[in-house]
Structure 1
Amino acid sequence: MIKVFQQFAYNNLLANHRLLSAAEELQQGEFETKRTGFFPSIKKTLNHNITVDWFYVDALEGGTLGAKAWAVEEPFDNPVDLKVAQKQVDFRLIGICSELTFDMLAQNLQFYRFNEPIGNILSHLFQHQIHHRGQAHAMFAGTSVAPPQLDEFMFSSDHAERARDLEELGLKEADLSNF
Protein backbone atom coordinates (compact mmCIF):
# COMPACT_ATOMS: atom_id res chain seq x y z
CA MET A 1 0.00 0.00 0.00
CA ILE A 2 2.88 2.38 0.74
CA LYS A 3 4.22 2.01 -2.79
CA VAL A 4 0.76 2.75 -4.22
CA PHE A 5 0.56 6.07 -2.38
CA GLN A 6 4.10 6.91 -3.50
CA GLN A 7 3.17 6.13 -7.09
CA PHE A 8 -0.01 8.20 -6.79
CA ALA A 9 2.08 11.14 -5.57
CA TYR A 10 4.35 10.99 -8.62
CA ASN A 11 1.39 10.52 -10.95
CA ASN A 12 -0.25 13.55 -9.31
CA LEU A 13 2.86 15.65 -9.97
CA LEU A 14 3.05 14.55 -13.60
CA ALA A 15 -0.65 15.11 -14.29
CA ASN A 16 -0.64 18.55 -12.67
CA HIS A 17 2.49 19.50 -14.59
CA ARG A 18 1.04 18.40 -17.91
CA LEU A 19 -2.33 20.10 -17.32
CA LEU A 20 -0.74 23.36 -16.17
CA SER A 21 1.73 23.25 -19.08
CA ALA A 22 -1.28 23.10 -21.39
CA ALA A 23 -2.86 25.99 -19.48
CA GLU A 24 0.26 28.06 -20.15
CA GLU A 25 -0.48 27.66 -23.88
CA LEU A 26 -4.03 29.05 -23.67
CA GLN A 27 -4.78 32.23 -25.58
CA GLN A 28 -5.36 35.48 -23.71
CA GLY A 29 -8.56 35.23 -21.67
CA GLU A 30 -9.16 31.49 -22.07
CA PHE A 31 -7.82 30.64 -18.59
CA GLU A 32 -10.47 32.74 -16.88
CA THR A 33 -13.34 32.41 -19.40
CA LYS A 34 -16.59 31.20 -17.84
CA ARG A 35 -17.26 27.56 -18.70
CA THR A 36 -19.52 24.75 -17.58
CA GLY A 37 -18.14 23.05 -14.47
CA PHE A 38 -18.42 22.91 -10.71
CA PHE A 39 -15.97 25.80 -10.64
CA PRO A 40 -16.91 27.78 -13.73
CA SER A 41 -13.46 28.33 -15.28
CA ILE A 42 -10.15 26.58 -15.69
CA LYS A 43 -8.64 29.26 -13.45
CA LYS A 44 -11.12 28.73 -10.63
CA THR A 45 -10.86 24.93 -10.85
CA LEU A 46 -7.08 24.77 -10.75
CA ASN A 47 -6.85 27.44 -8.04
CA HIS A 48 -9.27 25.36 -5.98
CA ASN A 49 -7.03 22.33 -6.40
CA ILE A 50 -3.97 24.10 -5.06
CA THR A 51 -5.71 25.65 -2.06
CA VAL A 52 -7.08 22.24 -1.06
CA ASP A 53 -3.61 20.75 -1.55
CA TRP A 54 -2.16 23.42 0.73
CA PHE A 55 -4.74 22.55 3.37
CA TYR A 56 -4.15 18.78 3.39
CA VAL A 57 -0.40 18.77 2.78
CA ASP A 58 0.08 21.28 5.59
CA ALA A 59 -2.00 19.07 7.90
CA LEU A 60 0.00 15.97 6.93
CA GLU A 61 3.20 17.90 7.69
CA GLY A 62 1.86 18.76 11.15
CA GLY A 63 1.10 22.38 10.32
CA THR A 64 -1.71 24.61 11.46
CA LEU A 65 -2.73 26.39 8.26
CA GLY A 66 -6.31 25.12 8.40
CA ALA A 67 -8.94 27.23 6.66
CA LYS A 68 -6.36 29.95 5.95
CA ALA A 69 -5.37 27.73 3.01
CA TRP A 70 -8.38 28.95 1.07
CA ALA A 71 -8.64 32.47 2.53
CA VAL A 72 -7.82 33.74 -0.96
CA GLU A 73 -10.14 31.85 -3.28
CA GLU A 74 -8.02 32.41 -6.40
CA PRO A 75 -4.43 33.06 -5.32
CA PHE A 76 -3.09 32.85 -8.88
CA ASP A 77 -4.20 34.95 -11.85
CA ASN A 78 -2.12 33.07 -14.39
CA PRO A 79 -1.10 29.47 -15.05
CA VAL A 80 2.64 30.23 -14.98
CA ASP A 81 2.68 31.22 -11.30
CA LEU A 82 0.12 28.54 -10.46
CA LYS A 83 2.31 25.88 -12.08
CA VAL A 84 5.31 26.89 -9.96
CA ALA A 85 3.30 26.77 -6.73
CA GLN A 86 1.58 23.51 -7.66
CA LYS A 87 4.94 21.89 -8.35
CA GLN A 88 6.16 22.95 -4.91
CA VAL A 89 3.19 21.45 -3.07
CA ASP A 90 3.31 18.32 -5.25
CA PHE A 91 6.93 17.72 -4.27
CA ARG A 92 5.99 18.22 -0.62
CA LEU A 93 3.33 15.52 -1.05
CA ILE A 94 5.90 13.20 -2.65
CA GLY A 95 8.10 13.81 0.40
CA ILE A 96 5.27 12.88 2.75
CA CYS A 97 4.52 9.70 0.82
CA SER A 98 8.19 8.75 0.67
CA GLU A 99 8.29 8.75 4.48
CA LEU A 100 5.13 6.68 4.97
CA THR A 101 5.09 3.48 6.94
CA PHE A 102 2.29 0.96 7.08
CA ASP A 103 1.53 1.95 10.69
CA MET A 104 1.27 5.63 9.72
CA LEU A 105 -1.57 4.89 7.29
CA ALA A 106 -3.78 3.78 10.17
CA GLN A 107 -2.81 6.64 12.50
CA ASN A 108 -5.49 9.23 13.02
CA LEU A 109 -4.59 12.82 12.32
CA GLN A 110 -6.54 15.49 14.19
CA PHE A 111 -6.72 18.71 12.19
CA TYR A 112 -9.24 21.44 11.51
CA ARG A 113 -12.59 19.65 12.02
CA PHE A 114 -11.27 16.23 11.04
CA ASN A 115 -9.92 13.21 12.87
CA GLU A 116 -9.07 10.72 10.14
CA PRO A 117 -6.54 7.98 9.40
CA ILE A 118 -3.69 9.25 7.24
CA GLY A 119 -4.51 6.62 4.61
CA ASN A 120 -8.03 8.06 4.28
CA ILE A 121 -6.66 11.59 3.99
CA LEU A 122 -4.28 10.60 1.23
CA SER A 123 -6.97 8.66 -0.63
CA HIS A 124 -9.28 11.66 -0.45
CA LEU A 125 -6.58 14.09 -1.56
CA PHE A 126 -5.62 12.07 -4.62
CA GLN A 127 -9.26 11.52 -5.57
CA HIS A 128 -9.97 15.23 -5.13
CA GLN A 129 -7.15 16.11 -7.49
CA ILE A 130 -8.25 13.59 -10.11
CA HIS A 131 -11.87 14.76 -9.87
CA HIS A 132 -11.11 18.44 -10.45
CA ARG A 133 -8.32 17.86 -12.97
CA GLY A 134 -10.89 15.91 -14.97
CA GLN A 135 -13.26 18.87 -14.86
CA ALA A 136 -10.53 21.26 -16.01
CA HIS A 137 -9.48 18.75 -18.66
CA ALA A 138 -13.01 18.71 -20.08
CA MET A 139 -13.04 22.52 -20.17
CA PHE A 140 -9.99 22.47 -22.45
CA ALA A 141 -12.22 21.04 -25.20
CA GLY A 142 -13.66 24.54 -25.59
CA THR A 143 -10.28 26.27 -25.90
CA SER A 144 -7.54 26.68 -28.49
CA VAL A 145 -5.47 24.01 -26.69
CA ALA A 146 -6.30 20.32 -26.96
CA PRO A 147 -6.89 18.57 -23.63
CA PRO A 148 -3.56 16.90 -22.72
CA GLN A 149 -3.15 13.20 -22.01
CA LEU A 150 -3.35 12.82 -18.21
CA ASP A 151 -3.51 9.11 -17.53
CA GLU A 152 -0.50 7.50 -19.14
CA PHE A 153 2.49 7.98 -16.92
CA MET A 154 3.38 4.84 -15.01
CA PHE A 155 3.61 2.04 -17.57
CA SER A 156 7.10 1.32 -18.84
CA SER A 157 5.72 1.75 -22.36
CA ASP A 158 4.83 5.37 -21.49
CA HIS A 159 8.50 6.32 -21.11
CA ALA A 160 8.77 8.28 -24.36
CA GLU A 161 5.63 10.29 -23.65
CA ARG A 162 6.73 11.29 -20.14
CA ALA A 163 10.41 11.93 -20.87
CA ARG A 164 9.89 15.66 -21.50
CA ASP A 165 7.76 16.02 -18.36
CA LEU A 166 10.41 14.29 -16.25
CA GLU A 167 13.13 16.51 -17.66
CA GLU A 168 11.11 19.68 -16.99
CA LEU A 169 10.47 18.51 -13.42
CA GLY A 170 14.10 17.59 -12.78
CA LEU A 171 13.27 13.90 -12.36
CA LYS A 172 14.82 10.78 -13.77
CA GLU A 173 13.13 7.64 -14.97
CA ALA A 174 14.62 5.87 -11.94
CA ASP A 175 12.47 8.05 -9.67
CA LEU A 176 9.42 6.28 -11.08
CA SER A 177 10.89 2.79 -11.26
CA ASN A 178 11.15 2.33 -7.49
CA PHE A 179 7.62 1.00 -7.40
Structure 2
Amino acid sequence: MTAPLLLAQACNNRWSNHRLLTACASLSAAALRAPQPAAFFGSLWALLGHLLDVDLFYLDALHHQPRPYRDHAWPDLATLSEAQAASDLRLMTLCRDLDPARLAQTLTLPRASGPVREQAGRVLQHLFVHQLHHRGQAHALLLASGVAPPQLDEFFLAQDEPLRRAELALLGIDEEELWGIAP
Protein backbone atom coordinates (compact mmCIF):
# COMPACT_ATOMS: atom_id res chain seq x y z
CA MET A 1 0.00 0.00 0.00
CA THR A 2 1.72 3.15 -1.21
CA ALA A 3 0.67 6.77 -0.83
CA PRO A 4 0.57 7.37 -4.62
CA LEU A 5 -1.74 4.40 -5.16
CA LEU A 6 -3.98 5.49 -2.28
CA LEU A 7 -4.15 8.98 -3.78
CA ALA A 8 -5.15 7.46 -7.12
CA GLN A 9 -7.89 5.50 -5.33
CA ALA A 10 -9.09 8.66 -3.59
CA CYS A 11 -9.21 10.52 -6.91
CA ASN A 12 -11.07 7.65 -8.53
CA ASN A 13 -13.47 7.71 -5.58
CA ARG A 14 -14.10 11.44 -6.16
CA TRP A 15 -14.67 10.89 -9.87
CA SER A 16 -17.05 7.96 -9.32
CA ASN A 17 -19.08 9.78 -6.66
CA HIS A 18 -19.36 12.80 -8.97
CA ARG A 19 -20.63 10.61 -11.81
CA LEU A 20 -23.07 8.76 -9.58
CA LEU A 21 -24.54 11.90 -8.01
CA THR A 22 -24.77 13.63 -11.40
CA ALA A 23 -26.85 10.71 -12.67
CA CYS A 24 -29.01 10.84 -9.52
CA ALA A 25 -29.79 14.49 -10.26
CA SER A 26 -32.02 13.37 -13.13
CA LEU A 27 -34.41 11.81 -10.60
CA SER A 28 -37.01 13.76 -8.67
CA ALA A 29 -36.75 13.96 -4.89
CA ALA A 30 -39.72 11.58 -4.68
CA ALA A 31 -38.05 9.05 -6.99
CA LEU A 32 -34.81 9.21 -4.99
CA ARG A 33 -36.73 8.52 -1.78
CA ALA A 34 -39.11 5.93 -3.25
CA PRO A 35 -38.94 2.55 -1.52
CA GLN A 36 -37.14 -0.06 -3.60
CA PRO A 37 -37.34 -3.70 -2.52
CA ALA A 38 -33.74 -4.42 -3.56
CA ALA A 39 -32.33 -1.30 -1.91
CA PHE A 40 -30.01 -1.54 1.02
CA PHE A 41 -31.45 0.90 3.57
CA GLY A 42 -34.80 0.94 1.70
CA SER A 43 -34.20 3.56 -0.99
CA LEU A 44 -31.55 5.05 -3.21
CA TRP A 45 -31.69 8.21 -1.09
CA ALA A 46 -31.01 6.35 2.16
CA LEU A 47 -28.14 4.48 0.49
CA LEU A 48 -26.54 7.73 -0.73
CA GLY A 49 -26.83 9.19 2.76
CA HIS A 50 -25.27 6.08 4.28
CA LEU A 51 -22.31 6.28 1.89
CA LEU A 52 -21.56 9.83 2.95
CA ASP A 53 -22.21 9.26 6.65
CA VAL A 54 -19.77 6.34 6.72
CA ASP A 55 -17.17 8.40 4.85
CA LEU A 56 -17.47 11.10 7.50
CA PHE A 57 -17.20 8.57 10.33
CA TYR A 58 -13.96 7.08 9.01
CA LEU A 59 -12.45 10.36 7.84
CA ASP A 60 -12.96 11.86 11.29
CA ALA A 61 -11.14 8.87 12.81
CA LEU A 62 -8.34 9.11 10.23
CA HIS A 63 -7.92 12.77 11.20
CA HIS A 64 -7.72 11.80 14.90
CA GLN A 65 -11.11 13.35 15.63
CA PRO A 66 -13.20 10.19 16.17
CA ARG A 67 -16.91 10.71 16.60
CA PRO A 68 -19.69 8.15 16.95
CA TYR A 69 -21.41 7.20 13.70
CA ARG A 70 -24.55 9.16 13.02
CA ASP A 71 -27.15 9.27 10.28
CA HIS A 72 -27.42 12.83 9.01
CA ALA A 73 -30.74 14.18 7.75
CA TRP A 74 -29.49 15.44 4.38
CA PRO A 75 -32.23 17.82 3.19
CA ASP A 76 -31.74 17.48 -0.57
CA LEU A 77 -29.46 16.13 -3.27
CA ALA A 78 -27.64 19.42 -3.79
CA THR A 79 -26.64 19.56 -0.11
CA LEU A 80 -25.67 15.90 -0.03
CA SER A 81 -23.65 16.27 -3.26
CA GLU A 82 -21.80 19.29 -1.88
CA ALA A 83 -21.02 17.46 1.35
CA GLN A 84 -19.89 14.36 -0.58
CA ALA A 85 -17.57 16.48 -2.74
CA ALA A 86 -16.08 18.07 0.39
CA SER A 87 -15.62 14.64 1.95
CA ASP A 88 -13.97 13.34 -1.23
CA LEU A 89 -11.58 16.31 -1.33
CA ARG A 90 -10.76 15.73 2.33
CA LEU A 91 -9.92 12.11 1.52
CA MET A 92 -7.75 13.17 -1.43
CA THR A 93 -5.85 15.62 0.78
CA LEU A 94 -5.33 12.94 3.43
CA CYS A 95 -3.95 10.50 0.84
CA ARG A 96 -1.76 13.15 -0.78
CA ASP A 97 -0.07 13.79 2.58
CA LEU A 98 0.30 10.15 3.70
CA ASP A 99 3.50 8.59 4.89
CA PRO A 100 4.12 4.98 5.99
CA ALA A 101 4.19 5.93 9.67
CA ARG A 102 0.71 7.42 9.46
CA LEU A 103 -0.65 4.31 7.75
CA ALA A 104 0.72 2.19 10.60
CA GLN A 105 -0.86 4.32 13.36
CA THR A 106 -3.55 2.82 15.53
CA LEU A 107 -6.89 4.62 15.55
CA THR A 108 -9.77 4.31 17.96
CA LEU A 109 -13.20 3.96 16.36
CA PRO A 110 -16.13 4.76 18.65
CA ARG A 111 -18.58 1.89 18.04
CA ALA A 112 -21.91 1.37 19.77
CA SER A 113 -20.45 -1.72 21.46
CA GLY A 114 -17.43 0.25 22.68
CA PRO A 115 -14.15 1.61 21.31
CA VAL A 116 -12.37 -0.49 18.69
CA ARG A 117 -8.71 -0.07 17.77
CA GLU A 118 -7.75 -0.40 14.09
CA GLN A 119 -4.69 0.32 11.98
CA ALA A 120 -5.10 3.48 9.86
CA GLY A 121 -4.12 1.74 6.61
CA ARG A 122 -6.80 -0.90 7.13
CA VAL A 123 -9.41 1.73 7.91
CA LEU A 124 -8.51 3.57 4.73
CA GLN A 125 -8.77 0.40 2.62
CA HIS A 126 -12.09 -0.42 4.29
CA LEU A 127 -13.41 3.02 3.38
CA PHE A 128 -12.56 2.44 -0.31
CA VAL A 129 -14.13 -1.04 -0.34
CA HIS A 130 -17.26 0.26 1.40
CA GLN A 131 -17.65 2.96 -1.25
CA LEU A 132 -17.20 0.46 -4.10
CA HIS A 133 -19.69 -1.95 -2.57
CA HIS A 134 -22.49 0.56 -2.11
CA ARG A 135 -21.84 2.52 -5.33
CA GLY A 136 -22.44 -0.75 -7.15
CA GLN A 137 -25.80 -1.06 -5.41
CA ALA A 138 -26.67 2.55 -6.24
CA HIS A 139 -25.74 1.85 -9.86
CA ALA A 140 -28.29 -0.99 -9.97
CA LEU A 141 -30.95 1.13 -8.24
CA LEU A 142 -30.51 3.88 -10.83
CA LEU A 143 -31.10 1.36 -13.59
CA ALA A 144 -34.21 0.08 -11.78
CA SER A 145 -35.42 3.71 -11.60
CA GLY A 146 -35.14 4.11 -15.37
CA VAL A 147 -31.94 6.16 -15.35
CA ALA A 148 -28.95 5.10 -17.41
CA PRO A 149 -26.29 4.49 -14.77
CA PRO A 150 -22.89 6.10 -15.30
CA GLN A 151 -19.71 4.24 -16.15
CA LEU A 152 -18.05 3.58 -12.78
CA ASP A 153 -15.71 0.68 -13.40
CA GLU A 154 -12.85 2.63 -14.93
CA PHE A 155 -9.52 3.20 -13.24
CA PHE A 156 -7.40 5.66 -15.17
CA LEU A 157 -6.30 3.45 -18.06
CA ALA A 158 -4.06 5.45 -20.38
CA GLN A 159 -6.16 4.57 -23.42
CA ASP A 160 -9.21 6.32 -21.91
CA GLU A 161 -7.46 9.56 -20.92
CA PRO A 162 -8.90 11.68 -23.78
CA LEU A 163 -12.42 10.59 -22.76
CA ARG A 164 -12.06 11.78 -19.16
CA ARG A 165 -9.73 14.77 -19.49
CA ALA A 166 -12.40 17.50 -19.26
CA GLU A 167 -14.31 15.80 -16.44
CA LEU A 168 -11.20 15.31 -14.31
CA ALA A 169 -10.11 18.90 -14.92
CA LEU A 170 -13.53 20.03 -13.65
CA LEU A 171 -12.91 18.00 -10.48
CA GLY A 172 -9.37 19.33 -10.00
CA ILE A 173 -7.75 15.94 -10.59
CA ASP A 174 -4.36 16.13 -12.29
CA GLU A 175 -3.21 12.83 -13.76
CA GLU A 176 0.33 14.11 -14.16
CA GLU A 177 0.41 14.57 -10.37
CA LEU A 178 -1.03 11.09 -9.84
CA TRP A 179 1.34 9.19 -12.04
CA GLY A 180 4.36 11.51 -12.09
CA ILE A 181 4.19 11.65 -15.86
CA ALA A 182 1.87 13.12 -18.46
CA PRO A 183 -0.87 10.58 -19.31
Per the TM superposition, whether the score is higher than 0.5 is: yes
Q: Which residue matches 1:177?
A: 179
CA shift, 1:168, in A, is 2.8
Deviation at 1:88, TM superposition (A): 0.2
Gap change, CA 1:102 and 1:22, over 3 Å in 2: same
List per-residue Cα deviations over 1:125-157 (Å, max 9, x = no partner).
111111111111110111232011001141112
TM-score (norm 1): 0.89
Cα distance change of structure 1 residues 160 and 42 upon mapping to structure 2, 3 Å threshold: farther
What is the distance in 2 between the residues matched to 1:42 and 1:162? 26
Structure 1 pair 28–90 and aligned structure 2 pair: CA distance change class (3 A): closer
Counterpart CA distance in 2 for 1:21 and 1:153 is 19
In the alignment, the residues of structure 2 paired with residue 75 and residue 62 of structure 1 have an alpha-carbon distance, to the nearest angstrom, of 24
- Say if 2:62 is the partner of 1:60: yes
Gaps of 5+ in 1: none
Which residue type is aligned with residue 86 of structure 2? Q
Q: Which runs of 5+ in 2 are unaligned?
A: none
Corresponding residue for 1:147?
149
Per-residue deviation at 1:54?
0.7
Task: Tell me the distance in 1 between the aligned counterparts of 2:108 and 2:165.
Answer: 39
Residue-by-residue CA offset, 1:13-65 (whole Å, 9 max, x unaligned): 1110100010111245221111112222111001001111111101111114x
Aligned counterpart, 2:42: 40
Between the aligned partners of 1:54 and 1:130, the Cα distance in structure 2 is: 16
Q: What is the Cα deviation at residue 105 of structure 1?
A: 1.8
Letter in 2 for 1:97: C
User: Alignment RMSD, CA only?
Assistant: 1.8
Equivalent position SS for 2:41: coil
Q: Aligned equivalents of 2:102 and 2:169: distance in 1?
A: 32
* Alignment match, 2:117: 115
> Identity across aligned pairs (percent)?
38
1:90-128: per-residue Cα shift (whole Å, max 9, x none)?
A: 110111111111222222112312211111101111111
Equivalent position of 1:30 in the other structure: 31
Q: TM-score, with normalisation over the residues of structure 2?
A: 0.87
The alpha carbon displacement at 1:177 in A equals 3.1
Paired residue for 2:17?
A: 16
The 1-side partners of 2:174 and 2:5 are apart by 19
